[in-house]
Amino acid sequence: MRTIPDYEPLPVAVRAYAEPPRKRRSNKGTPKQNDLGPSEWALIFDTETTTDSAQQLRLGTYQVRRAGELSEAGLFYDPQSLDPTELETLEAHASNRGLVMRTLEGFVDEVFFVYAYELRGTCVGLNLPFDLSRIAIGHGLARERMRGGFSLQLSRDERRPRVRVKHLNSRTSLIDFTAPRRQSTPRGMRNRGQRVPPRRGHFVDVRTLAGALLGGSWSLGRLAEHLEVEHRKMETEEHGKRFTEDYLEYAVRDAQATWECFEQLQKQYEGYGLTETPMEKIYSEASLGKAYLRQMGIEPWQDLQPDFPPELLGAIMSSYYGGRSEVRIRREPVQILYCDFLSMYPTVCTLMGLCHFVISEGVRWSDATEEVRRFLEEVTLEDLQKPETWPKLRALVRVKPDSDVFPVRGRYGEEGQYTIGLNHLTSEEPLWYTLADCVASKLLTGKAPDVAEALRFKPVGVQSELAPIDLAGNLDYRIDPTSDDFYKRLIDLRAEVKAEQKAARRAGEDEKAARLGAGQMALKLCAN
């Protein structure tokens, strides 16, 4: 007999769908000018700070490049952080190396804003949010789409825009310029009903780009080694101490290594052929996947079906709980067998035929209440071993939970935030869950959930502007969305490449094995 734990009242939270407010548009009859994109200029900079909690700027190094060629290299410093002896050491090193010496204020006004803003250059760094905060002279809270982030004042010139930084996770941040206070649209254009959009800048954090293209988290030293750039990061134990020639050489090398890593990653990304997505918009592996979809000409579903009922979108959103995690044996030493699902998410997408929804012109839905009730009563674990069962899971179910096992979003224990736990759930209010979650509850409890309503979804048509792509720019990794299941093709390609990689290793072909290893990693990142 199944034992049900004692119940505990708990407020639960569900996702919802809210339509964003429509912004009032002036001059709505005339489209705004498109962003011109980054110019051929690039600014690379890095900072060194004190080692106390304040981490105040002591020294910065920078390079200005045009079309990859070095135009200027220099040092900048905070006069308040250096004593006369250190300043002399800095000046001597700059003179010996042919470097330009600037104060922090001079660097910001004469280099940063000239190249990163006025000339639309790409601002490159590793851990850019930290370096930008070190050269800031003030900060505040960001607003609008960057709400929750910081607004950094870099210049004393009030006409200069601020820089906004919003952290998404430990390796990714959104960075842009605010709109300047002065009018950016000339009077003649305003009279014609036109407007010039504010320059938001072009920022590339090498750590973020490397994480998206290579996977994982990278330091400058590890990344330089992995990409085998000419100038590797130097090591030092002199942080926070008086400047020496060796330490200044270390600081200058960081900017050079950062540029070389950026250059290698840029070549890799350009080789992917993702011309519809600027490199600066690649924030993660998910960004890379979206770029491939965009390159295949796949239009966003809501653009194609804007009249989809928002109430139904709300039901769909409330059923989303993300990945599933559960623990069956807790605080008990036992022998285990470690198992792993190979490409689990794309495998499930393939089994359910979700690729057909991605390339469809729209979605239809119909009542499937009785059909789903019968399915849940009859489904067994063995049925899930049959591929023909999985497409039947493309349904949404409104259930009346009664000691069923479902993911529940609530505040557990003394935690202040809502987290998701897999629990026995009873609720007087019906809740929406996926049919897959209902099947899992049936298998775990032995009884089918009480179905109040069920909706089945089907894709309609195929988009007309679809185009084939070559994954990672490799002609052998071609995918045609009109004939290939995108997810299945990724899984099969990765399996083929991994087999070739192992064969190359056995044959001692290290260079070929490394190339194939990079290829299978690109396929893995895109698939997941």
pLDDT per residue as tens digits for the range 192-203: 666 667 899 999
β-pairing, 41-49 vs 122-125, is parallel
pLDDT band at 22 (very low <50, low <70, confident <90, very high): low
Estimate to the nearest angstrom the gap between the alpha carbon of 509 and the chain centroid.
34
pLDDT per residue as tens digits for the range 61-77: 999 999 999 999 999 99
Estimate to the nearest angstrom the gap between the alpha carbon of 201 and the chain centroid.
19
**Would you state the torsion angle of the CA atoms of residues 409, 410, 412, 418, taken in this order, to the nearest 10 degrees?**
80
Amino acid at 193: G
41-286: CATH topology is: Nucleotidyltransferase; domain 5 (3.30.420)
pLDDT per residue as tens digits for the range 231-274: 999 988 888 788 899 999 999 999 999 999 999 999 999 999 99
Contact 178, 164 (CB under 8 A): yes
Lowest mean pLDDT among 249-263, 279-293, 385-399, 471-485: 471-485
Contact 314, 16 (CB under 8 A): yes
Where are the chain's structural domains?
41-286, 308-326+356-460, 468-527
Residue found by looking up tokens 């393939």 in the block: 350
pLDDT per residue as tens digits for the range 171-228: 899 999 998 876 565 565 555 666 667 899 999 999 999 999 988 889 999 999 999 9
What pLDDT score was predicted for residue 34?
65
For the chain, percent of residues with pLDDT exceeding 90: 68
* DSSP labels, 150-166: EEEE--S-TTSPPEEEE
Q: How far apart (Å, rounded) are the C-alpha atoms in residues 210 and 222?
A: 11
What pLDDT score was predicted for residue 76?
97
What pLDDT score was predicted for residue 326?
78
What pLDDT score was predicted for residue 327?
81
Does residue 522 or residue 314 have the better pLDDT? 314
Q: How many CB atoms lie within 10 A of CB 275?
A: 10
What pLDDT score was predicted for residue 433?
98
Q: Backbone phi, then psi, for 72, in 5-degree steps?
A: -160, 140
- CA-to-CA dists, residue 201 to 75, 197, 280, angstroms: 23, 12, 10
* DSSP labels, 126-149: SSHHHHHHHT-SEEEE--GGGTTS
pLDDT band at 328 (very low <50, low <70, confident <90, very high): confident
Q: How far apart (Å, rounded) are the C-alpha atoms in residues 431 and 309?
A: 18
- Whether the per-residue pLDDT at 471 is higher than 60: the answer is yes
Contact 410, 11 (CB under 8 A): yes
- Whether the per-residue pLDDT at 525 is higher than 90: the answer is no
Contact 240, 51 (CB under 8 A): yes
pLDDT per residue as tens digits for the range 85-133: 999 999 999 999 999 999 999 999 999 999 999 999 999 999 999 999 9
Average confidence score pLDDT of the chain:
90
Contact 433, 493 (CB under 8 A): no
pLDDT band at 137 (very low <50, low <70, confident <90, very high): very high
Secondary structure element (H or E) that encloses residue 369, with its range: helix 369-378
For the chain, percent of residues with pLDDT exceeding 70: 94
Nearest alpha carbon to residue 400 among 440, 438, 456, 443: 438
What pLDDT score was predicted for residue 187?
60
Secondary structure element (H or E) that encloses residue 272, with its range: none
Q: How many CB atoms lie within 10 A of CB 388?
A: 8
Check residue 12 and report its DSSP letter.
B
The token pair at 92 is: 């001597």
The mean pLDDT value for 9-27 works out to 77
Q: How far apart (Å, rounded) are the C-alpha atoms in residues 325 and 50?
A: 43
What pLDDT score was predicted for residue 342?
80
The mean pLDDT value for 418-422 works out to 90
Residue found by looking up tokens 């002399």 in the block: 88
What pLDDT score was predicted for residue 28?
46
Which ranges in 48-178 belong to alpha helices (H)? 84-97, 104-107, 128-134
pTM of the model: 0.84
pLDDT band at 31 (very low <50, low <70, confident <90, very high): very low
- Whether the per-residue pLDDT at 444 is higher than 70: the answer is yes
What pLDDT score was predicted for residue 474?
82
Contact 493, 527 (CB under 8 A): no
Interacting residues of 3 by C-beta distance below 8 A, sequence separation 6+: none
The token pair at 73 is: 């290299």
Q: How far apart (Å, rounded) are the C-alpha atoms in residues 265 and 210?
A: 7
Region for residue 479 given its phi and psi (left: phi exceeds 0; alpha: psi -120 to 50; beta: otherwise): beta
Nearest alpha carbon to residue 488 among 362, 354, 389, 394: 354
Contact 487, 350 (CB under 8 A): yes
**Total count of residues recorded for the chain:** 528
Q: How many CB atoms lie within 10 A of CB 432?
A: 22
The mean pLDDT value for 360-387 works out to 97
Check residue 202 and report its DSSP letter.
E
- CA-to-CA dists, residue 523 to 210, 246, 277, 288, 478, angstroms: 15, 42, 18, 11, 12
pLDDT per residue as tens digits for the range 284-311: 988 988 999 999 999 999 999 999 999 9
